[in-house]
Amino acid sequence: MPANYQLQLAASQFRSANGIGPTDPIRLQSWLLKLDVMAMFKPLSDRFSGMAIRYDKHKFMLINANHRISKQHFTVAHELYHLFIQKEFVSEISNAGRFDRKDTNEYHADCFAAYLLMPEEGILSLIPSSELSKNKLSLPTLVKLEQYFACSRSSLIFRLNEIGLIDRAKYEGYLQNVKLSALMLGYDAELYEPGNAGLVIGNYGVKAKKLYDLEKISESHFFNLMSDIGIDITAIDAGNEQE
């Protein structure tokens, strides 16, 4: 079985095993909690989309908050491949969305992310029958698809090309002025802008508090750990005293 078919199957089974239907969009923040993956969103260099680390049962990812929300979603799905599908994985710094065949693991992670976020059945269900011939997809349909799946335009073009609905060369123009094209069609701009800086998903705070309650770490250490994720415990304490 070709590698891409194996990746499609892995993505489909991963969706099914975690209660996501074949046509449903994925709410990645809620999904990360369910999968018990700790994720932190921090401003990083544009050269990196993020990284993932797996140690024993512990899974962690760091996502570049300087990237567009749509790109962040793709990076999260990319890192899920490393954490749950790739064999003998420990850690990796990623540049998701390049679909670079020269780096096998990164290419497989990109393909998996595309299949996971944009299942073929879901894509086909949203395309008007008049546009289901090759190279007939309109810009409004493309924007509707990327909004529904909360994906980047470039990853959507890759996926539609793989399915056989478009020739990529004929749609290169749609990779320009992506945000403007969505705004002109009445969509919100959030998907096309950076965001989530400082967001932490997972039980980081729970673990830090448990260590403090068990007297494994000092109060100052606990305060520093919480400060690392943008929570000022002293300000919370001061607020409680005022009440």
What is the pLDDT, as a whole number, of residue 211? 63
pLDDT-derived band at 219, boundaries 50, 70, 90 = confident
DSSP readout, 182-231? Answer: HHHTT--SGGGSB--TT-EESSHHHHHHHHHHTTSS-HHHHHHHHHTTT-
Tally the domains of the chain. 2
Using one digit for the tens of pLDDT, what is the confidence trace for 85-108? 999 998 989 999 999 899 999 999
Domain that holds residue 119: 3-127+135-192
In a domain, 198, yes or no: no
- Is 219 exposed, middle or buried (CB count within 10 Å of its CB: 0-12, 13-18, 19+)? exposed
Q: Same domain for 109 and 229?
A: no
How far are the Cα atoms of 3, 92, 194 from residue 81, in angstroms, in the given order? Answer: 14, 11, 23
pLDDT at 230 over 80: no
Q: Kindly state whether residues 183 and 211 are assigned to the same domain.
A: no
Is position 207 within any domain? yes
pTM of the model: 0.87
Q: What residues pair up with 63 in beta bridges, in sequence order?
A: 41, 50
Q: CB neighbours of 206 closer than 8 A, spacing ≥ 6?
A: none
- Distance (Å, whole) CA 78 – CA 60: 13
223 shares its domain with 188: no
Residues 139 and 163 in one domain: yes
Structure confidence at residue 67 as a pLDDT band (50, 70, 90)? very high
Please tell me whether residues 147 and 235 are part of one structural domain: no
pLDDT of residue 1: 41
Same domain? For 121 and 188 the reply is yes
